[in-house]
Amino acid sequence: MNLLQAEVPADSVATEKLVDGTKEAVAAVARGDVSYLTQFLQQAWAFCIEAGKTLLVAAVIYVVGRFVVSLINRLLANALDRRNLDPSIKTFLKSFVNILLTVLLVIAVVSALGVNTTSFAALLASVGLAAGMALSGNLQNFAGGLLILLLKPFKVGDYIEAQGMAGTVREILIFHTVLTTVDNKVAFLPNGALSSGNITNYSRMAQRRVDLTVSVEYGQDVDQVKRVLHEIFQRDSRILQDPAPFVALSRLAESSVDLTVRLWVASADYWGVFFQTQETIYAEFNKQGISFPFPQITVHRA
């Protein structure tokens, strides 16, 4: 009896034959028919050899495919680096090509295992439809990534604030945008929410305005305070004189006279001017005898 063919296909039919042959071999052993068992073992060995060859071919395709995918990714990265493209587009294309090549590699490995690619394609379509319905958010993120690259509300290297997070854009991937926060945390923001939500880009404009409030005690000469402030601003080369620094009395508070200060600086100098200008004001006011306020209450006794 021919239990297995000489060339056993790696599909469900061969597996069913192997199972049926195993049952018949067990029954033959029970009857004491050793020749039947010997024939079965020979053909089972042939089946294992053919299956091993199939698995070996699939493993070779996977290993070689991973090498080819890695090589193509490196070549693509080098080609993009040689071109004057926006870093946002580079990271997006690298991520997209890597995922596409990985899917093709999986299809090649499955095909090498003997699975009908037509049936596999139909299965992928069904799974893709179901996954698309279940992962509609990721599809929105993919579309959001395309909108970000098209509309360019920000690019790699910009400092932005969105979705309750703030940081420097590190990468724009297919589904997420990666931010590095000021305290060196890495945040992944979905592209779908980014493309449809509010975004504040602090790096888009070449200049930014520094807003300060300077408070002095009641009784101080406001003209002297303004003069000292303007002298401080003129000595700092980072503070632009066009538009000119703005200083005006804005509020008579309970314990202080408040002056509003508005300074224009290059975006890169914003935080340096913000902190150092306040230190300079504190030191200069102490030299000039200008007093800072502190909470106080005047009590009148009858």
Mean pLDDT across the chain: 80
Give the pLDDT score at 8.
Answer: 41
* Residues whose CB falls within 8 Å of the CB of residue 49, separated by 6 or more in sequence, listed in order: none
What are the tens digits of pLDDT across the range 238-288? 999 999 999 999 999 988 999 999 999 999 899 999 999 999 999 999 999
* Sign (positive or negative) of CA dihedral 124, 126, 131, 137: positive
Backbone angles phi, psi at 214, to 5 degrees: -110, 125
Give the pLDDT score at 48.
Answer: 77
What are the tens digits of pLDDT across the range 59-115? 888 888 888 888 888 888 888 777 777 676 777 777 778 888 888 888 787 777 776
Give the pLDDT score at 214.
Answer: 95
Ordered DSSP codes for 224-253: HHHHHHHHHHHH-TTB-SSSPPEEEEEEE-
- CA 223 to CA 214: how far, in whole Å? 14
- Show me where the domains of the chain are located: 142-201, 207-288
Angstrom distances, CA of residue 77 to CA of 56, 71, 72, 145, 158: 31, 10, 8, 19, 22
Please list the residues that pair with 172 across neighbouring strands: 177
Residue whose token pair is 């601003």: 233
Give the pLDDT score at 119.
Answer: 61
**What pLDDT band is residue 3 in, cutting at 50, 70 and 90?**
very low
* Residues whose CB falls within 8 Å of the CB of residue 248, separated by 6 or more in sequence, listed in order: 259, 260
On the question of a common fold for 142-201 and 207-288, the answer reads no
Give the pLDDT score at 162.
Answer: 92
- Decide if 291 contacts 216 (C-beta within 8 A): yes
What are the tens digits of pLDDT across the range 126-157? 666 555 555 556 778 888 888 888 888 998 89
What are the tens digits of pLDDT across the range 15-52? 555 555 566 655 655 655 556 556 666 666 777 777 77
Give the pLDDT score at 229.
Answer: 96
- Is the confidence at residue 291, as pLDDT, over 60? yes
Looking at domain 207-288, which of 1.10.3720.10, 3.30.70.100, 3.40.50.620, 1.20.58.220 is its CATH number? 3.30.70.100
Residue 92 or 169, more confident: 169
Ordered DSSP codes for 79-137: HHHHS---HHHHHHHHHHHHHHHHHHHHHHHHHHTT--HHHHHHHHHHHHHHHHHHTHH
- Is the confidence at residue 6, as pLDDT, over 50? no
Residue 15 or 298, more confident: 298
For the chain, what's the residue count?
302
Residue whose token pair is 């493993």: 59
- Is the confidence at residue 200, as pLDDT, over 50? yes
Q: What average pLDDT does range 283-297 have in this prediction?
A: 87
CATH class of segment(s) 142-201:
mainly beta
Residue whose token pair is 């030191």: 283
Beta sheet of 176-180, edge-to-edge order: 186-190, 176-180, 165-172, 159-162, 199-201
